[in-house]
Every structure is written in structure tokens, then in C-alpha cells.
Amino acid sequence: MLKSLLLLSLFCTLVLSSTLQKEKIYTIAFSQGTLDNSFRLKQLRVVEDTLAQYPNIHFLYSNAKSNGALQVKQIEDFISQDIDLLMASPYDEEITAAIISKAYKLGIPVIMVERSIKGDDFTTYIHPDNEKIAQNAAMYLVKKMNHKGTILLLKGTPKADVTRKRTRGFYEVIKRYPKIQVIEYTANYLGRDAIIGVEKLLKEKKHFDAIMSQSDSMLVGARMALRAHNIDPASIISVGIDYTSFAKKAIEYGYQDSSFVYSLSAKESAKAAIEILSGKKLPKEIILDTIQVTKDNVNEIKPIF
């Protein structure tokens, strides 16, 4: 926590002192892994809106449509356009590593926006602590379940570092409780995939007492599938990550037990881009704080969107 606060303090100090050359036009490109879910789309729009405050910033973006090879090609295209800075949220942490490394080694500053790559060929990585969030979510579930029962783990995109870290953090806690069983289903951070997955599990007569969803969007889909089978979502202990407006309402109405505020990392990344182009040096990693939301504090905390 102290490290996080120090980094944020340094970051905020730098933001206050940013200056761009007024006579120069800077081109910033954002390579987004997908725009098929609301989180990714909102992330892009916040970056776009923040950079729009700077008249000499030319902003470009791409949508890889959940295709790692396409994202590599799109980043290659950005490099060929002599961009001044690259922002990236990779769909696949391995496939995109080489092309992002290429940009970095060519002298293009690279900001990893909430997702990263294998390796450290980037300028700065801005994100919440996914592993810690997952650990806290798992511990909350275990306590609510009295240390026994079955959890359905709804996983996100398999090749994203976010998914890997959330899964690792979850199991670091669960492995300490032998009476807890886990069923996994990969729903790619998409509500529609969660509907399909939970529907399939219910038809197979799979029983679970709780749901750990690596995003609130998948939890929305899970609730729809439960209702279709005449199962009250309030009867299943559930935790999500992001804390969207859907999660807020679900917690208020008792259909969801908890969520964790997960910053879009968008405004911070856009401000970091301005700092870098202004000649400032930022930390290699900037960790954004989070907070757990339950019925006790749901009316005090604003959703991320």
C-alpha cells in the first residue's frame, strides 16, 4: 500500500507540471485488444476524451476484435506511421510481446494500459493489483461459505495477463481450504459467454454454492442463466470485479454480494502519455488502489461507469 501511495503521489506531482511543445503535433495511438465489452469501450472513450483536452494531440486507435494476430498487425501499422507514443491493452500477453518490444526498442514510448505483456519492454505499466484483488475476493467467498462448498470460477480471456493474475491470486487462497471445490468456465469477460457457460453447467446438473466472476459483466450473464432455470441469484453467493453500475444495483437489490472497484486506468494512462511527451520520467509501474464494495458501503461508492 505504501509503495502504491508513493507512486500515485509522484504521478500526481508530475501531472501538475506537464508542458508540451505548442507548435508540435503529437500522434498517440491506442491499440485496444477488443471493444466488444463495455469495460474496454469505456476505457478507450475516457482516454480519447482526456487527450481531447490537448489541441496538439492527434489520437488514433484500433480494435483487435479479440484477435492477437490482428493486434500485432495493427501495432505494426502504427509504428509505420511514425507515432510519438503507443498505448496498448493487449488481448494476448505473449503474441503481442514482440511487436510492443519492437516499438519500445525503436524509441517509441509505450504505456501498458491496465494489461501488460511478457517481459518489460515498455515505458510504464498502469494498473490495479489483480492478484491482490483476487486474493481478497477469494477470502471473502470462503468466509461467506463457512470454508466449505463449491465455487464456480468464471474466467476471462485466457491469454490476458489480467486473467492469469486473477486466477493465480484466487487459487493462492483456495488451496488452503480442502473443503472448497472449484468448477471453472472461461467466459472471456463477456456476458453472453457467461450465459452460455452457466446454462451448460446447469443442464449438466453441476452444483455450485458461489460464483467468483473475474468481471461483473460475466456475473450479469450468470444471473440471467440462473433466472432462466428458476434459480434466485440471491441464493448464490457471488463476487465480481470492476464495480459497474450493474454491479451496484445488483448489490443494492441483494443479487450480488460484493464487487471490487477496478480502475479503467484510462485517465491515468492518458495523463501519463502527456507527461512522457513533455519529457518527464515516470515509474516503470504505477499501481492504482482499489476498494471492496458490499451492501454496507454500496451507497457511498460511485461505479466506474
| Domains with residue ranges and CATH for the chain | 2-127+264-288 (3.40.50.2300), 130-262+295-300 (3.40.50.2300)
pLDDT given for residue 13 in this prediction:
42
Average pLDDT over residues 72-97: 98
pLDDT value of position 98: 98
Beginning with the edge strand found earlier in the chain, give each strand of the sheet holding 149-155 in spatial order: 180-186, 149-155, 210-213, 237-242, 258-261, 292-293
Total-model pTM: 0.91
Tell me the C-alpha distance between 218 and 206, whole Å.
Answer: 18
Angle at 49 between CA 157 and CA 31, to 5 degrees: 35
Give me the residues paired with residue 87 across strands. Answer: 30, 111
Of 297, 287, 234, nearest to 260 by C-alpha is 297
Residues β-bridged to residue 213: 154
Q: What is the pLDDT of residues 13-58, one digit of tens each?
A: 444 345 898 889 999 999 999 999 999 999 999 999 999 999 999 9
Residue 122 has pLDDT above 70, yes or no: yes
